[in-house]
């Protein structure tokens, strides 16, 4: 198998990724991982660990002033150092991101249907009736009731859980091969969180997508992924199957994280 | 024993709102029995807190303090009330004035409630900082020099400096990382015992309430659906909504 074919087998191949802002110490240091279709990996860390910056760097969406180095191959295309116009065709079609706060991800001045239509128009060239049908299909697929009404509504007219479903519909409309979910349920009520996690689980399984699930919540992570990287202060401190991280953490920080999560979890065993 | 705080058939409707934010809610806060108010968005948790803090008056029913209706025009009662009930807010980044030293922030209730001043106030501030396990020199520093968990300790020190009987905490650990969260929960539990304080806490997180509170009140859409000992409410929930809430909490595999 040629080198190119080997990298093609992975949807994303990250090698020695660092993110820094000028001459200060890097915010993310020497991160490496690969994901094949259908694989589900979690990025675990607390505030300031660099987990969100890592996920932004995968699609070249770093905040202004920050630059990445190393290598990120997205479906074989180098993202690090790439021109913005070479990245646009990848976003939404190869990799899509669902963010923590759907209110900031959705434009309050644009009808929701138009926002789901945008990637379908850009990447798949859909127009007219076929575009309208594809938008409704995308809204139906994320379990939204009355998709016609939602398509005509604005983001502030629907609930937080419905907004996150619309954001997921827009992210997945063009059937990307990698879904990056960055704390996708942290801003939601617990009963709504359960529904959205079930939705993500179903879509990722049905479509055989790769999933990068970014979260601080070990209980959520253990449901959504098989393997995890634990980040602290921009570095990977431990990686492995989640079952192993939970039962036999090797790193001191991972152990502390697991101990805290277990203590809170045990508090619920009240009967 | 007369409860310290009580909501009696309390209702509240925001001006021009179509539906009430709170309807017919009754529960009592008894001395030494920490109480957790749980529910999702729109449950009425924040509205209840503003009633218990005396920031809003119920549009129906009553709020009782030591068995007497809270009366904003009764200045003697308001004074006693303010000394007795102190708040801690969710976000330790926005609840501390960045231009004031920690000493001033923590000592503020002593000055505004006219409790004490001068050397005595400084000693009380030092004792409060010690109680929340912050170094004594913290008094001369400023909020930006502290992490989120340390800032929440500062907010708690400010709340306990007047030796209140009740600490009203609004999601006190939601903005914190899980490792810090445990430390603050432990701190609140210690203070409740050491200072003889009753904690009343609003939280969307059942595990936090289960860790800290003897009693639990479950709210949904402005109504109380279930209340009782935490052991019973969370261990053997009777109301279908409480059961749904519990079932939705993500759990760690054994």
**A89 — phi, psi (to 5°)?**
-65, -20
User: What range defines the domain where residue B222 resides?
Assistant: 5-248
User: Who among A190, A220, A256 is closest to B179 (CB)?
Assistant: A256
Indicate yes or no: CB of B235 within 8 angstroms of CB of A270: yes
Question: Does the global pTM surpass 0.95?
Answer: no
Q: Look at residue A261 in the predicted model and tell me its pLDDT.
A: 95
Q: Closest approach of chain A CAs to the CA of B198, in angstroms? A: 19
Taking 80 as the threshold, does the pLDDT of residue B52 lie above it?
Answer: yes
Query: What does the pLDDT read at residue A271?
Result: 63
Q: Which residue of A has its CA nearest to B229?
A: A270
Number of domains in chain B: 1
Q: What is the pLDDT of residues A108-137, one digit of tens each?
A: 999 999 999 999 999 999 999 999 999 999
Q: Identify which of A92, A70, A37 has the alpha carbon closest to the alpha carbon of residue A212.
A: A37
Residue B253 forms part of a structural domain: no
**Out of A46, A191, A216, whose CB is closest to B248?**
A191
* CB contact burial A73-103 (16+ within 10 A = b; e otherwise): bbbeeebbeeeeeebeebbbbbbbbbbbbbe
Residue A26 reports pLDDT greater than 60 = yes
B123-167 pLDDT per residue, tens: 999 999 999 999 989 999 999 999 888 999 999 999 999 999 999
Q: In the predicted model, what is the mean pLDDT of residues B28-32?
A: 96
Task: Quote the CA–CA distance of B155 and B160 in Å, as a whole number.
Answer: 9
The rounded mean pLDDT for chain B is: 94
Contact (CB<8Å) A191/B244 = yes
Which of A173, A183, A267, A253 lies closest to A220, judged by CA? A183
Contact A180, A95 (CB under 8 A): yes
> A216 and B177: CB-CB below 8 Å?
yes
Q: Is the pLDDT of residue B70 over 90?
A: yes
E strands, chain A, are 12-20, 28-35, 40-44, 67-74, 77-78, 95-98, 178-182, 210-215, 227-232, 235-241
- 10 Å Cβ neighbour count for A178? 23
- Cβ <8 Å between B181 and A264: yes
Contact B234 A268 (CB under 8 A): yes
Q: What is the mean pLDDT of residues A166-187?
A: 94
Instruction: Tell if the CB–CB gap between B40 and A189 is shorter than 8 Å.
Output: yes
The Cα–Cα gap between A87 and A96 comes to 12
Check residue B61 and give its pLDDT: 97
Among B40, B95, B28, smallest CA distance to B64 is for B28
- Give me the pLDDT at residue A8, please: 55
Helix (H, G, I), strand (E, B) or coil at B28: strand
User: What ipTM describes this predicted complex?
Assistant: 0.85
Closest CA to B152 of B186, B122, B121: B186
| Vertex A217 angle, CA A211 and A220, to 5° | 55
| Site of tokens 């806490």 | B201
Given a cut of 80, whether residue A6 has pLDDT beyond it is no
At residue B254, the pLDDT reads: 80
Q: Are strands B5-12 and B60-65 parallel, antiparallel or unpaired?
A: antiparallel
Domain containing residue A198: CATH number? 3.40.50.300
Residue predicted with more confidence, A24 or A28: A28
- Closest-approach residue (CA) in chain B for A253: B179
Q: What is the pLDDT of residues A189-233, one digit of tens each?
A: 999 999 999 999 999 999 999 999 999 999 999 999 999 999 999
Cα–Cα distance for residue pair B191/B212, rounded to 1 Å: 11
The CATH number for B177's domain is 3.40.50.300
Q: Is residue B254, in this structure, part of any structural domain at all?
A: no
Which candidate in B208, B252, B253, B254 is best for mutational testing of the A interface (most A CBs within 10 A)? B252
Q: Which two tokens stand for residue A152?
A: 């005509």
Alpha carbons A214 and A200: distance in angstroms, whole number:
13
Give the model confidence (pLDDT) of B87-130 as tens digits. Answer: 998 888 888 999 999 999 999 999 999 999 999 999 999 999 99
Q: Quote the number of domains for chain A.
A: 1
Closest approach of B54 to chain A, Cα-based (Å): 27
For residue A142 the two structure tokens come to 């994320």
Helices (H) and strands (E) in chain A, counts: 12, 10
CA closest to B181 among chain A residues? A260
How far, in Å, are A72, A207, B76, B138 from residue A7 at the CA level?
A: 11, 21, 76, 53
Residues of chain B with Cβ-Cβ distance to A184 below 8 Å are: none
Q: A34 near A9, Cβ under 8 Å?
A: no
| Residue partners of B211: CB distance under 8 A and separation at least 6 | A263, A264, A267, B185, B189
* Disruptive mutation site among A183, A185, A268 for chain B (greatest number of B CBs within 10 Å): A268
Chain A contacts of B251, Cβ < 8 Å? 219, 265, 268
Interface probe with B: pick from A190, A215, A222, A246, most Cβ of B within 10 Å: A190
Residues from chain A that touch B246, judged by Cβ atoms under 8 A, are 268
* Cα distance between residue A150 and residue A73, in whole Å: 36
- Residues of B whose CB is below 8 A from A194: 247-248, 250
| Alpha carbon distance A163, A152 (integer Å) | 13
Q: Touching check for A219 and chain B: CB below 8 Å?
A: yes
Containing structural domain, residue A80: 3-267
* For testing contact with chain B, the best of A49, A247, A265 (most B CBs within 10 A): A265
Mean pLDDT of chain A: 93
Cα of B124 to nearest chain A Cα, Å: 32
Between these two residues, B87 and A101, which has the higher pLDDT value? Answer: B87
pLDDT at position A1 is 44
The per-residue pLDDT for A2 is 45
Which of A50, A270, A271 should one mutate to test binding to chain B, selecting the residue with the greatest count of B CBs within 10 A? Answer: A270
pLDDT of residue A5: 52
Q: How far apart are CA B62 and CA B164, in angstroms?
A: 22
Of A190, A263, A264, the CB nearest to B245: A190
User: Residue B197: inside a domain, yes or no?
Assistant: yes
Q: How far apart are CA B201 and CA A205, in angstroms?
A: 40
Higher pLDDT, A5 or A57: A57
Smallest CA-to-CA distance from A71 within A1, A6, A7 is with A7
Task: Take residue A75 and report the two structure tokens written for it.
Answer: 């479906």
pLDDT digit string, tens, across residues A47-66: 889 999 999 999 999 998 99
User: pLDDT tens across B180-210, in order?
Assistant: 899 999 999 999 999 889 999 999 999 999 9
Tell whether A261 is within 8 A of chain B (Cβ).
Answer: yes
Query: What is the b/e burial string over B28-60, where b = at least 16 CB atoms within 10 angstroms of the residue's CB?
Result: bbbeebbbbbbbbebbbbbbbbbbbbbebebee
Task: Give the pLDDT of residue A74.
Answer: 96
Residue recorded with tokens 């203070």: B191
CA distances from A188 to A66, A161, B139 (A): 29, 7, 37
């Amino acid at each position: 198998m040629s080198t190119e074919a080997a990298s093609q087998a992975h949807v994303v191949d990250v090698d020695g990724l660092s993110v820094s802002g000028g001459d200060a110490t890097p915010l993310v240091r020497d991160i490496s991982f690969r994901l094949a279709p259908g694989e589900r990996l979690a990025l675990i860390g607390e505030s300031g660990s660099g987990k969100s910056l890592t996920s932004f760097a995968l699609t070249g969406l770093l905040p202004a002033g920050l630059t990445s180095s190393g290598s990120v191959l997205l479906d074989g295309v180098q993202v690090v150092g790439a021109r913005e116009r070479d990245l646009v065709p990848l976003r939404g079609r190869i990799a899509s991101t669902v963010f923590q706060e759907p209110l900031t991800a959705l434009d309050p001045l644009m009808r929701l249907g138009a926002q789901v239509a945008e990637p379908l128009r850009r990447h798949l060239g859909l127009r007219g009736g076929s575009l309208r049908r594809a938008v409704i299909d995308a809204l139906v697929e994320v379990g939204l009731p009355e998709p016609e009404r939602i398509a005509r509504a604005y983001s502030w007219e629907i609930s937080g859980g419905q907004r996150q479903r619309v954001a997921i519909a827009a992210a997945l409309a063009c059937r990307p091969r990698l879904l990056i979910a960055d704390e996708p349920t942290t801003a939601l009520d617990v009963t709504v969180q359960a529904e959205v996690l079930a939705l993500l689980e179903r879509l990722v399984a049905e479509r055989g997508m790769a999933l990068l699930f970014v979260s601080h919540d070990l209980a959520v992570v253990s449901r959504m992924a098989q393997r995890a990287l634990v980040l602290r202060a921009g570095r990977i401190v431990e990686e492995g199957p989640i079952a192993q991280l939970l039962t036999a953490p090797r790193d001191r920080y991972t152990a502390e994280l697991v101990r805290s999560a277990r203590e809170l979890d045990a508090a619920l065993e009240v009967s | 024993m007369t409860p310290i705080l009580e909501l009696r058939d309390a209702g509240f409707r925001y001006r021009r709102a179509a539906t009430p934010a709170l309807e017919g809610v009754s529960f009592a806060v008894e001395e030494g029995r920490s109480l957790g108010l749980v529910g999702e968005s729109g449950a009425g948790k924040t509205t209840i807190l503003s009633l218990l803090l005396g920031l809003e008056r119920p549009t129906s029913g009553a709020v009782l303090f030591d068995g007497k209706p809270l009366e904003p025009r009764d200045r003697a009662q308001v004074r006693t009330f303010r000394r007795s009930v102190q708040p801690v807010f969710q976000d330790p980044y926005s609840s501390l004035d960045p231009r004031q030293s920690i000493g001033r922030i923590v000592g503020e209730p002593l000055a505004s409630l006219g409790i004490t001043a001068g050397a005595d106030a400084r000693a009380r501030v030092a004792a409060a900082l010690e109680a929340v396990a912050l170094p004594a020199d913290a008094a001369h520093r400023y909020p930006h020099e502290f992490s989120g968990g340390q800032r929440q300790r500062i907010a708690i020190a400010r709340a306990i400096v007047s030796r209140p009987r009740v600490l009203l905490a609004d999601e006190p650990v939601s903005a914190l990382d899980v490792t810090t969260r445990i430390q603050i929960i432990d701190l609140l539990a210690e203070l409740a015992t050491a200072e003889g304080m009753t904690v009343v806490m609003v939280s969307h997180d059942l595990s936090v309430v289960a860790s800290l509170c003897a009693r639990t009140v479950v709210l949904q859409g402005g109504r109380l659906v279930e209340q009782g000992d935490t052991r019973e409410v969370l261990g053997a929930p009777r109301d279908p909504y409480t059961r749904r809430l519990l079932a939705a909490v993500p759990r760690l595999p054994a």
